[in-house]
Amino acid sequence: MTKLYSLILILMILVSCKSDSFIDLENQQQGSQETNFNFGNSAQRNFNGLVLSTNGSPVSGATVTIGSATAQTNFKGIFVIKNADVKENFAYVKVTKAGFVNGSRTLVPTTGSNRINIMMIPATNTATIATGTTATVSLPNGTKVKFDGSFKDANGNAYSGSVNVAMFHLKSSDQYLNELMPGSFLANNTAGNARVMETYGMLHVQLTGASGQNLQIANGHTAEMTMAIDAAQTSTSPATIPLWSFEETTGIWQEDGSATKVGNAYVGNVSHFSWWNCDVQFPQSILKVTVKNSAGAPMINSLVTLKRASQTYESYGYTDNVGTVSGIIPANETLVLKVYDVCNTVVYTSNVAPVTAGTTMVLPDIVVTTTGNQYTIQGNIKTCANTDVTDGYAILRLPTSTNYFQFQSVPLSNTGNFSFTAYSCAANPQMILEGYDYTNLKTTGEISFIANSPVMNFNNLVACNAVNEFISYKIDNQNVRYILGGINAQWSGLTSTSPNMPAKQLRINSFSPAGNVFSMIQENMLGTVGSFSTDHSFEFSGGSFNSSTGNVVVQVTNFGAVGTYIDFTVNGTYTDTAGNHTFTATGHVLRDF
């Protein structure tokens, strides 16, 4: 996995070795915790992100939830959710997929497009133990858990038999701490006070029975947890430290007991398992800042770091598409702020004066001069008939396979114009440009070029190449939305071994860099053309529904072999909190599996 992934992290700052912050108040209010954190007013914000496995590969088909809005990651692990209902200072993103530990991120959303990275941890079995006897499960670094042999199932009934234990120790020095950990470092202590934390290590433990059912420690019993301390923190680690348990319903850590330092590890007793965290705590405040270049243009994806005097590792975040970074910081502390450019050179350093607890500090805009190269890529796109493309978008990306998530996209103006601002440490970088015409379902094709001038003009590009695959859909009387390319279509033609899964399933996931997403799951699809009015679910930019909330017919008119086309239409109505809606869709997609 390359350092690329760390360059597209979520756009915020939070305290810890590497920290971020983003939270959703609607979920917080639904939980049982009470906190004095200032969530602010209700707001609608835009989010897009990337979900990877720990080996760096994209996780497709994961369900992403922000409040009541949902989406699925496409085959590149990308998702987009627009106009999600959150709070000004709090949004909570949850990601789930079978076979992985639930992922999440909490943050203070900016008014720009909030970019989020989440790494999902495979739920890999570490050891299998038996009930009724004491057993210790250990990891190579000395982290371990000692069980007394008493467990219960999800209904609270005593469980007897084998117990699968999946353990994952997240070190405070892990370079992907932000992406791997749940939530953020926003916490709620036993007094109900909002806190921001600095971690000395986290542990996730998942317990399952012989049939895969979820288990927990039995009522009235505990397990002894021993968590190794990072070598760089050993000398500064306190003799006792609070333990924090992550609350998935709220996205906030809850203080729950303490651990004692024994040698180079913390030892404490816990009564349940999910994520546990050994952290010191601080009063919190919020910091916001915008970074611009000398011409006043926003610096996008610029690394901004913060560090307390006694902090072992820097905290960091990345600016969004309007150059802004926002997040939770420790109150009443003098912090050192640094801005790095695309060449990883420090281009700005200053002290941030202590911020009063519970308040928001907006710093004056930071103006930097970078050591990298800035390029303006601009032009316009024409149709085959040499008229302006009035409905479409353009994409700019780098050519290497490791950074295909590092793209920019802009909608075309009503005269077909586009403009990008791009940065590169290397001079004369290679780039790839592509334009799309929604109305005629045409593309310019990929245009590879060398950026050998500060301003690159691409005038009168013609979109005449047929699009290989597409999905179009319409909600009520809104404009038709298109997804051209980036579509993954799979059919599970083998009978599932799980009693809760359908025998056969057609799954289509897609993502448009212009911001539209579409996902269709048709269960009990027999692999032949036909009409289906039940056992389906849809998620798309603008809404979602399933068989219980929608009355639609899915008509599969062509079901080709792998490498050929699946054609389908959808027609009908669905109901959500806003009322009744009509829905139509058409798909011409290549079958991938």
3-state helix/strand/coil string of 342-401: CCCCEEEEEEECCCCCCCEEECCCEEECCCCEEEEEEEEEECCCCCECCCEEEEEECCCH
* 378 and 265 belong to one structural domain: no
- Predicted confidence band of residue 573 (pLDDT cuts 50, 70, 90): very high
Whether 142 shows a pLDDT value over 80: the answer reads yes
Domain boundary among 427, 451, 466: 466
Boundaries of domain holding 435: 373-466
* 488 and 462 belong to one structural domain: no
Looking at residue 496, its pLDDT comes to 40
Q: How many domains does the chain have?
A: 3
* 138 and 262 belong to one structural domain: yes
Q: In what order do the strands lie in the sheet with 579-590?
A: 481-484, 470-475, 579-590, 565-576, 550-559, 530-532
Q: Could you tell me the CATH number of the domain that includes residue 421?
A: 2.60.130.10
Mean pLDDT of 563-580: 90
* 483 and 403 belong to one structural domain: no
* 153 and 285 belong to one structural domain: yes
* 202 and 350 belong to one structural domain: yes
pLDDT above 70 coverage of the chain, percent: 89
What is the identity of the amino acid at 351?
N
Domain boundary among 466, 495, 518: 466
* 339 and 397 belong to one structural domain: no
Please identify which residue in the block is written with the tokens 């909600």.
475
Looking at residue 98, its pLDDT comes to 84
* 511 and 554 belong to one structural domain: yes
* 339 and 386 belong to one structural domain: no
Looking at residue 454, its pLDDT comes to 92
- Predicted confidence band of residue 25 (pLDDT cuts 50, 70, 90): very low
Q: Compute the 3-state secondary structure of the chain and give helix, strand, coil in percent, each to the nearest 5.
A: 5, 55, 45
Q: Are 208 and 214 in contact (CB under 8 A)?
A: yes
What is the β-pairing status of strands 465-466 and 392-397?
Answer: unpaired
What is the identity of the amino acid at 191?
A
Looking at residue 372, its pLDDT comes to 79
Most confident of 311-325, 438-452, 479-493: 438-452
Mean pLDDT of 438-466: 90
Helix (H) or strand (E) holding 291: strand 275-293
pLDDT tens digits, one per residue of 281-293: 999 999 999 999 8
Residue 115 or residue 462, greater confidence: 462
Looking at residue 408, its pLDDT comes to 67
- Predicted confidence band of residue 526 (pLDDT cuts 50, 70, 90): confident
Domain boundary among 466, 493, 509: 466
* 484 and 404 belong to one structural domain: no
* 333 and 387 belong to one structural domain: no
d(CA 360, CA 37): 11
* 33 and 172 belong to one structural domain: yes
Distance of CA 524 to the CA centre of its chain: 30
